[in-house]
Amino acid sequence: MNVIEAIRTRRSIGKVTQEPVAKEMIEQILEAGTWAPNHRLTEPWQFFVMSGEGRNKLGQALAAIATSQAGEDADAAVLETKAADAMSKARRSPVVIGVAVVPVERRDVIELEEYGAVFAAIQNMLLTVNELGLGAVWRTGEPCFHPLMNEAFGLRPQDKMLGFIYLGVPDMTPTQGKRSAAASKTTWIEA
């Protein structure tokens, strides 16, 4: 698959089987992430690969966040339901890769560029997933950025979990992609 084909055919695959994914394939995906462009070669990414019971780390963090947001007036049954629902999210795929930005603290490094590098790493990873014939969806959302998520993964306050890649063998047919033409988003500035 050439790079243009990989870009145009990559889709979010939110439904995957629980079939295990070979460690070698996961390592290829991670390695692709490390080749993302990053200013000053800071390599500001941190990966957390969770499978089997290891997914409980994410599930417990999601449960802690869900119950903390339920409010002090929530009864025990509501809290238990919220925790169980949150825990189940970590088991939607056989492998979950957490991707965090760990910004380098130097005066010559712009923090926003560190985020950009990690987002580029995630895109490299998703393109590699596509090339390997696997399925993945990149999930973010408020719990991702919650201080309890940082705590669960041993991240500093200035670090951020930028998403979770839910990875597995596709169990759905991808939808047809559609984008606006580049021309509709482009201004040419010429001499």
12 is in an annotated binding site: yes
| Residue 139 among known ligand-binding residues | yes
* CB-CB contact of 186 with 37 (8 Å): no
11 in a known ligand binding site: yes
Is residue 39 marked as binding? yes
User: What phi and psi, each to the nearest 5 degrees, are found at residue 144?
Assistant: -60, -40
Is position 10 annotated in a ligand binding site?
A: yes
Residue 140 annotated as lining a ligand binding site: yes
What is the rounded distance in angstroms from the CA atom of residue 90 to the CA atom of residue 144? 12
> Which token pair is 114?
């560190």
Return binding residues: 10-12, 39, 138-140
Return binding residues for FMN: 10-12, 39, 138-140
